[in-house]
């Protein structure tokens, strides 16, 4: 599970894993463990940065406590209901993705809506969450040519991930739909709808 742990300054540990699945599972276990002194956990594709209050713990004690964390598989993240995101499945690449995967468009929509997604980590833009699902990945390639801009709320697939674009952005992912749910809003606390560890479920809205 854990491949390496090393100090990151005087107030954090950088924990390295072999896979993204290990990161997500360990993050879930860390949330449940609620270790004394931990103030923030920042996810990456293969790492967790665990920040702590040196008045409550130190690198040695925290490193020892990490050994007691029990990872939680994606299907075991059952604390609270998933955030529901309604999607209109009329994306420009929907038909092409269905053809690539050997599905009908209805089957592709059923695949996307028929699983729980977990925010593995955030990046690229504020509110952009890299979502991993509980169903087998389609491992889709990115587009050969990126679009210079896609609208806020565009729902997309690439590799093992799904995502919702929080604002108008360049995009090389495959577009399958759109949602009106804001992924980033300064009127919320936290502003991101899906910080790392958040569970989501997409539901199909009426198609255009």
Would you state the pLDDT for residue 77? Answer: 47
Residue 190 vs residue 47, higher pLDDT? 47
- Please report where in the chains the tokens 């924990």 appear, as a residue: 15
In a domain, 110, yes or no: yes
In a domain, 77, yes or no: no
Same domain, 31 and 130: no
Would you state the pLDDT for residue 74? Answer: 56
> Partners of 86 in the beta sheet?
203
| Model pLDDT for residues 137-169, shown as the tens digit of each residue | 999 999 999 999 999 999 999 999 999 999 999
**DSSP result, 22-72:** HHHHHHHHHHHH--TTEEEEEE-SSEEEEEE-TTT--HHHHHHHHTT----
Same domain, 48 and 118: no
CATH of the domain at 139: 2.40.100.10
For residues 165 and 126, the answer to whether their CB atoms sit within 8 Å is no
* Number of structural domains found in the chain: 2
Same domain, 95 and 183: yes
Same domain, 58 and 115: no
Angle at 146 between CA 104 and CA 128, to 5 degrees: 80
Would you state the pLDDT for residue 114? Answer: 97
Boundary (domain end) residue, out of 51, 72, 93:
72
Instruction: List alpha helices for the chain, DSSP H.
Output: 20-33, 59-66, 94-101, 105-113
| Model pLDDT for residues 19-63, shown as the tens digit of each residue | 888 998 999 899 889 899 999 999 898 999 999 999 999 999 999
- The contacts of residue 64 (CB under 8 Å, 6+ apart) are none
Radius of gyration of the chain (CA): 18
pTM of the model as a whole: 0.84
For residues 181 and 153, the answer to whether their CB atoms sit within 8 Å is yes
């Amino acid at each position: 599970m854990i491949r390496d742990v090393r100090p990151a300054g005087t107030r954090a540990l950088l924990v390295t894993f072999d896979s993204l699945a290990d990161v997500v599972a360990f993050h879930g276990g860390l949330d449940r463990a609620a270790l004394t002194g931990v103030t923030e956990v920042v996810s990456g594709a293969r790492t967790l940065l665990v920040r702590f209050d040196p008045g409550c713990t130190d690198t040695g004690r925290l490193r020892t406590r990490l050994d007691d964390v029990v990872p939680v598989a994606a299907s075991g993240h059952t604390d609270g209901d998933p955030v529901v995101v309604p999607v209109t499945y009329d994306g420009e690449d929907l038909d092409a993705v269905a053809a690539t995967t050997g599905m009908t468009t209805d089957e592709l929509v059923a695949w996307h809506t028929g699983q729980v997604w977990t925010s593995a980590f955030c990046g690229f833009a504020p509110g952009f969450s890299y979502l991993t699902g509980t169903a087998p990945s389609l491992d889709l390639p990115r587009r050969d040519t990126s679009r210079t801009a896609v609208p806020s709320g565009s729902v997309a697939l690439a590799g093992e991930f799904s995502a919702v674009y929080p604002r108008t952005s360049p995009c090389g992912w495959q577009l399958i739909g759109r949602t009106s749910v804001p992924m980033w809003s300064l009127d919320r606390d936290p502003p991101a709808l899906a910080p790392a560890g958040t569970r989501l479920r997409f539901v199909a809205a009426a198609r255009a």
